[in-house]
Amino acid sequence: MLKYRFFIIIIFIVYWIVLGVYTPTLSNNFLSEKISIVLEKALWRKSSKEITYQDITLDLICKNNHCDSEIWGFASEFNQAEHQGTVTLTKSHNQWILQVDLMINPDHWLLLSGKANYQIELTKKNDKVLVGNYQGNFNNKLLQGEASGVIKQIYPQPLTYHKPIQPQEHPRLLFRKDDLPNIRKKATTKIGKQIFNKLEETLNQTVVYDGYVPNAGYYAAGQCFRALIKENSKQADQAWTVAQKAINTSYRRLFELSPVVTGIAIAYDLCYSYWDNNNRISVSNWLAQQAQLLIDGTPDRGWNPTAWSNWNARARGAAGLAALAILKEPEGYFSPDIDIEQLLTIAKRNIIRYLETAIGDKGFGTEGDHYTTEPFILTLFPFFTAYYHVKGENFATKNSNLAWLLPHYLMRIIPRDNSYPIPSYGRHRHYPGGSLFAMGIGSVPVNFLPGVMWGFDHYWGENGDQSFGIKNSLDAIFLLVNYPKNLKIKHPSKIFYKVLADEKKGFYVFRNQWKNKNDFVASIYGKREHLNKSWSFPDAGSFRIWGLGINWAIAGKSQKKPENENIIIHKNANQLIMQPIYFDSKKDGSGIVSLQGKDWLRSFAVDYSNISGVPGLFVVVDQFNDSQNYHTWVMNTQENVKIDNNTFMIKGHGNATMKGTFITPQNINLNYDAKNQRIIAKGKGNFFVVMTVQKTNIPNLKIINSSLSSQVQIGKRIITFKDKHIDFDID
């Protein structure tokens, strides 16, 4: 009997040991923060010939295994609508079971709708990844498949303390009512007076109700802000006259409507105590209708709901701001059929998707500088600010891509003749300059702010052109409200590295210093993603080089033609993408990056060390899979160019020059297109190009073996290409 009992005990011990090995251990807070779950082939529809299935992503918020009852879904391959539903969570052994009921909504392009329900079983693969399966149905069709999920930090991040807004509490969007005395006091300081004077100058501008960016809403907001600061109702009356005309104006597209909605929403918030109840109701009702319209979109050419499109950001930012302006207003202020909380949630979800898809981890936007920054200054910065005050959640969290937006542009600015341009990418070849900083200072985290404010002060502030970056009334309002008090600015080199790498998008910037117009800034865009249904240029591997007061390698004309970029010409250049395979950087701003395309590799190297005897040394190597074929190398410039065999010489003002030498191909056909200011090199095989920028004598190049395995010496700097990247050494 004792032996039998001993045997049973041994069996149980072995059983529990084995069970402990093979059963996943799950912490008590297994489901926490934001959970995004992908259900494979969980939606279906009939096409012309067959049934097609699409995945859906479900988002819910959980804390310590307790989830909100609300769940949202999005399926970009199915349609562009948001799908709202409910979820219940139960725990069974090592699994978490979610019961989801979802309303699948139509959009303008696909009217198909219906109810879906899913039972999802998940287990934890690691700290951030969930695995499992689901079964359910949509429109009476049984569905089942794999489920996978990720656990993300809740974003935007809730504030540690936030005082909820009260019904009819205004102002609330750019600051709270309790902040008003301090803002009035700030307007009396030296800086405050200068900014307020700029505001008054903008109120003398012509009011525009048409065009790509109508300023009527901004003008009304400016008058309301002035009325609030000066406690003068006359300005509020003027604001009402403009606002009334603006809301009765027909706009061509949602594109033009969105900045008007932004301005009117802010004017409504600031003039709330001055406008009578009938006027408030009139504007509130209009804002509710516009929020609905900007969320739904229009099924015509004037609308692009794609997550990463600037149209989406511009429209949904305005919709969200309008919703925040009229949240908790009394019954009768707008139609009870309009669910403002729901519209706000949908706007927020679209804006988060825009940030996740369009903007890289260090602030580079895939649609280029103009189409990236424009929605920020027109609608997004106001939305982020208002969401912070009304909902108590912060989009500009530390090291978020939003937090990096202004530091990113600070990295690229070089003063030029009382202007502050950047070596730009994308359509229109520019960005909004000081306006971006005036509007965006409130979205810069405190750890970055001293360096960003150094740039603002030296370019547009008291030590700059003293414009304060103000181009319209909204710029002035945001700057005055958010201008930091008692901040000790610091040189950017004390805050930021001189090399910026946006790894998500494949964009790299190399800067030597922040001093003056002679600073060097070089960049290259790897274009890791080709995103359809948005602005995309043939710029995979395209580089820019500025330095010594000259723009040496620039963007060509604002046209989607390969020859307007500094690339290797390909037939399908617009769809090309490249992946970074090597990256190295130095404290002085020098660095090397290699980018791998489908059939060729480009390595780009920058050296500011002066070891070569010049302040700027730049090397480009292009290695092809088909090295026996002919290829075309292009670089756009804006200075005087002379060609001599395998070299080009660019002469700028002040004795500054760039000399470029093609080490390979040996039989290079090198020309300069004077009409388009473009250097064109054609040759068979790989390209190895060395460029030096200097004001003194041009150093000699010593070349050993003119091939891709060449060793090139300039001064004491030795340049080679090996292991798929350029390498710098010292003699």
Question: Across residues 429-436, what is the average pLDDT?
Answer: 96
16-30, 303-317, 687-701, 703-717: the lowest-pLDDT one = 16-30
pLDDT 10s digits, 195-204: 999 999 999 9
Q: What is the pTM of this model?
A: 0.94
Position 265 pLDDT exceeds 90? yes
Q: What is the pLDDT of residues 122-142, one digit of tens each?
A: 999 988 999 999 999 999 999
Query: Among 493, 524, 555, which residue terminates a domain?
Result: 493
Using pLDDT thresholds of 50, 70 and 90, give the confidence band for residue 356. very high
- Residue 619 structural domain: 509-730
- Cα 177 to its chain centre, rounded Å, is 31
pLDDT of residue 706: 75
What CA–CA distance (Å, rounded) separates 376 from 369? 11
The residue type found at 315 is A
Q: Is 549 left (phi over 0), alpha (psi -120 to 50) or beta?
A: left
Q: Which of 120, 152, 184 is the last residue of a domain?
A: 152
Q: What is the pLDDT of residue 731?
A: 87
Q: Are 78 and 187 part of one and the same domain?
A: no
Statement to judge: residues 416 and 479 lie in one domain: yes
- Domain presence at residue 23: no
Q: Give me the mean pLDDT over the 644-663 stretch.
A: 95
Q: Are residues 164 and 148 in the same domain?
A: no
Residue 462 and residue 589 share a domain? no
Assess whether pLDDT exceeds 50 at residue 27. no
Whichever domain contains 264, its CATH number is 1.50.10.100
Q: Residue 606: which of 624, 594, 598, 596 has the closest Cα?
A: 594
Q: Poorest-confidence range of 7-11, 29-33, 168-172?
A: 7-11
333-338: long-range contacts, CB 8 A cutoff, minimum separation 24: 333/280, 333/281, 333/284, 333/285, 333/288, 334/284, 334/285, 334/287, 334/288, 334/289, 335/285, 335/288, 335/289, 338/288, 338/289, 338/291, 338/292
Given a cut of 60, is residue 20 above it in pLDDT?
no
**Residue linked to tokens 């027109």:** 378
Q: Residue 259 has which token pair? A: 């900045």
Helix (H) or strand (E) holding 86: strand 82-92
Average pLDDT of span 249-277: 95
| Centroid of chain to Cα 124 | 31
- Write out the two tokens for 394: 């912060």
- The per-residue pLDDT for 570 is 87
Model confidence pLDDT, tens digit, residues 601-635: 999 999 999 999 999 999 999 999 987 889 999 99
Give the residue with greater pLDDT, 17 vs 715.
715
144 plus 173 within the same structural domain = no
Whole-number pLDDT of residue 375 = 97
| Cβ-based neighbours of 142, under 8 Å, separated by 6 or more | 135, 136
> To the nearest whole percent, how much of the chain has pLDDT over 70?
95
pLDDT, average across residues 154-170: 95
pLDDT at 22 > cutoff 70: no
Q: What is the pLDDT of residue 30?
A: 57
pLDDT score of 399 more than 70: yes
Whole-angstrom Cα distance, residue 638 to residue 551?
7
pLDDT top residue among 212 and 48: 212
Q: pLDDT per residue over 530-563, tens digit each?
A: 999 999 999 999 999 999 999 999 999 999 999 9
How confident is the model at residue 33, as a pLDDT? 87
Distance CA 360, CA 479 (A): 26
Residue 198 sits in the same domain as residue 330: yes
Is residue 618 in a domain? yes
Whether 264 is in a domain gets the answer yes
Q: Is the pLDDT of residue 26 over 70?
A: no
What are the residues whose beta carbons fall under 8 Å from the beta carbon of 646, sequence distance 6 or more? Answer: 661, 662, 668, 670
Q: What is the per-residue pLDDT across 440-496, written as a single tens digit (0 to 9) for each?
A: 999 999 999 999 999 999 999 999 999 999 999 999 999 999 999 999 999 999 999
Q: Which of 459, 493, 527 is the last residue of a domain?
A: 493
Name the average pLDDT for the chain: 93
Distance CA 261, CA 247 (A): 9
CATH number at residue 58: 2.40.128
Mean pLDDT computed over 497-508: 98
128 occurs within a structural domain: yes
What's the pLDDT score for residue 296? Answer: 93
Flag whether 500 is in a domain: no
Which CATH number covers residue 519? 2.70.98.70
221 and 183 together in one domain: yes
Whether residues 180 and 244 fall in one domain: yes
Same domain for 588 and 718? Answer: yes
Domains held by the chain: number: 3
Sheet hosting strand 701-704, strand order edge to edge = 701-704, 711-714, 717-722, 725-730
Q: Is the pLDDT of residue 567 over 70?
A: yes
Average pLDDT over residues 325-342: 96
Q: What angle do helix axes 216-230 and 473-482 make, rounded to 10 degrees? A: 40
Direct distance between the N- and C-terminal alpha carbons of the chain, in angstroms, rounded to an integer: 86
Looking up tokens 């994308």 gives 426
**Residues 526 and 628 occupy one common structural domain:** yes
Distance, in Å, from the CA atom of 664 to the CA atom of 686, rounded to the nearest integer, reads 6
Q: Are residues 113 and 207 in the same domain?
A: no
Given a cut of 90, whether residue 91 has pLDDT beyond it is: no
Give mean pLDDT, residues 640-647: 96
pLDDT digits (tens, 9 = 90+) for 365-378: 999 999 999 999 99
Type of residue found at 350: N
**Per-residue pLDDT at 146:** 98
Q: How far apart are the C-alpha atoms of 390 and 402, rounded to whole Å? A: 19
504 falls within a domain: no
pLDDT at 357: 97
Mean pLDDT of 324-344: 97
Has residue 525 been placed in a domain?
yes
Residue whose structure tokens are 């290699």: 594
> pLDDT value at position 281?
97
Q: What is the pLDDT of residue 31?
A: 63
The verdict on residue 14 lying in a domain is no
Is residue 4's pLDDT more than 90? no
639 has a pLDDT exceeding 90: no
For residue 379, the tally of other CB atoms under 10 A from its CB is 28
Overall average pLDDT of the 297-319 stretch: 92
My answer on whether 146 and 281 are in the same domain is no
Q: What is the pLDDT of residue 62?
A: 86
Provide CB contacts within 8 A for 623, sequence distance 6+.
600, 601, 603, 686, 708, 721, 724
Question: Is it the case that residue 242 has pLDDT exceeding 80?
Answer: yes
Q: Which amino acid is at 43?
A: L
Q: What is the pLDDT of residue 28?
A: 45
